[in-house]
Amino acid sequence: MSLDFDSARLPNIHLKPEHNEWRAQLRRFFEREVIPFAAQWDEDGHIPDELWPKSAAVGILGLGFPEEFGGVSEGIDVWYGIILNEELARVAVGGVGATLMVHGIGLPPVINFASEEVKQMVAPPVLAGTKRISLAITEPGAGSDVAHLTTTARLDGDHYVVNGSKTYITGGMNANWFTTAVRTGGEGAGGVSTLLIPADTEGVSRTALDKKQGWWCSDTATIYFDNVRVPVGNLIGQENRGFSVIMNNFNAERLAMSAAMEAFSRVCLEDAVAWGRERKTFGKRLADHQVIRHKIADMKMRINATQAYLQLVCHEFHEGRESAGDIALLKVQCSQTMEFCAREAMQILGGLGYMRGSRVERIYREVRVNAIGGGSEEIMRDLAVRQFGL
């Protein structure tokens, strides 16, 4: 049996034929529309606009969203999303999935908490790929500490007046709307609200953040709000109850990131094994040297353990018994497995792995954004022990 991306995936008793059909459909789409071009998109720092409607047409953008807005929800469970994130990771250009799927964190607050009028305005065009939405929470002075954000929204008649800034916003340069955390009340989580801010509103400006270690094709921005007037009808949820709106999003985001990181690890394993079989050193295959064989064994061992944890946590999520603590620890394990496999694959590939254009080289550069984004490893550990009552 060869050791590659697919054969290194543990059996999953929860997957049905329709899940496998979904994977096959995605793989055909990505191999036709994305994989041949993704490395160049990364070098160019841009993903073509037509990828969004193309992705909508095959059900990618609408996956798991209500059908009344153009989504696909009937029969959709957590495993469909896991498979999507695995296949996106196989592209091995992390910025593609990060930007293409950013509505996965920007749109759910609208769907779950906004008025019907706002839902109808935003959701259909986003799911059709003709408009885009981003999540704007992180600030220059408050990263993971959402409760201490300082962007303010002051009520003035039938509008909120917003002042402040957000940074490291994925999809921020091309978004039509920002799902934005603002301070409408006093200090702490109890003074946070969530507003939908149209990007073309007077007083909104943005600056591209293009000096990044990885995710080069991902559109990342700092957003500035200067006396921006937002209708009160754009309040998502209740005033001063926005913290729960934001927190409602995090578990699904972290599961998606975890699935992607585990799959990135398998990409590294696949390329390391392929090179080990091809490369000859000191009169024999690289893969015949014991030290290399042990590296491969360690990679597979960690991938197995991570997959098993991922399957367990996803099953609990599917059954409605999700544990925020376990999801947090899963994200840490996945980022550490990705980091380990990227490092070991880089060692095995040697100079080849260091060259631009290598899947391993890109994944190696993208380790940190995965270990930090969606809640850093340090924050995740602390969240977990608090969830476990320590």
Question: Which CATH number belongs to the domain containing residue 190 in this structure?
Answer: 2.40.110.10
User: Is 266 in the same domain as 383?
Assistant: yes
Question: 202: domain range?
Answer: 133-240
pLDDT score of 143 more than 80: no
pLDDT score of 323 more than 70: yes
Q: Which residue has the higher pLDDT, 1 or 150?
A: 150
User: Is 268 in the same domain as 378?
Assistant: yes
User: Is 176 in the same domain as 268?
Assistant: no
Which of 240, 265, 297 terminates a domain? The answer is: 240
Residue of 278, 220, 266 lying closest to 359 (CA atoms)? 266
Domain annotation covers residue 266: yes
User: Is 344 in the same domain as 381?
Assistant: yes
User: Is 380 in the same domain as 284?
Assistant: yes
Number of domains making up the chain = 3
Q: Which residue has the higher pLDDT, 60 or 390?
A: 60
User: Is 106 in the same domain as 58?
Assistant: yes
Give the pairing type, strands 159-170 and 220-231.
antiparallel
Domain annotation covers residue 193: yes
pLDDT of residue 89: 97
User: Is 155 in the same domain as 266?
Assistant: no
Domain annotation covers residue 156: yes
Domain annotation covers residue 4: no
pLDDT digits (tens, 9 = 90+) for 223-276: 999 999 999 999 999 999 999 898 888 899 999 999 999 999 999 999 999 999
Side-chain-side CA neighbours of 236 within 13 Å: the count stands at 30
pLDDT of residue 376: 92
User: Is 317 in the same domain as 362?
Assistant: yes
pLDDT digits (tens, 9 = 90+) for 331-389: 999 999 999 999 999 999 999 999 998 999 999 999 999 999 998 999 999 999 999 98
Amino acid identity of residue 301, one-letter, is: M
Q: Report the CATH number at residue 69.
A: 1.10.540.10
Distances (CA, A) of 365 to 84, 214, 306, 376: 22, 5, 21, 16
pLDDT of residue 247: 85
Side-chain-side CA neighbours of 181 within 13 Å: the count stands at 32
Distances (CA, A) of 306 to 92, 220, 261, 262, 310: 19, 29, 10, 7, 6
What rounded mean pLDDT belongs to the chain? Answer: 95
User: Is 267 in the same domain as 379?
Assistant: yes
Paired strand residues for 136: 180
Domain annotation covers residue 297: yes
pLDDT of residue 330: 97
Distances (CA, A) of 316 to 254, 310, 324, 326: 14, 10, 11, 10
pLDDT score of 142 more than 80: no
Residue of 43, 236, 54 lying closest to 137 (CA atoms)? 236
**pTM for the full model?**
0.95
SS (HEC) of 290-324: HHHHHHHHHHHHHHHHHHHHHHHHHHHHHCCCCCH
Q: Which residue has the higher pLDDT, 87 or 144?
A: 87
Which of 183, 207, 240 terminates a domain? The answer is: 240
Which of 81, 108, 128 terminates a domain? The answer is: 128
Residue of 89, 75, 41 lying closest to 263 (CA atoms)? 89
Residue 71 is classified by DSSP as: -
Domain annotation covers residue 299: yes
Amino acid identity of residue 267, one-letter, is: V
The CA distance from 233 to 244, in Å, is: 19
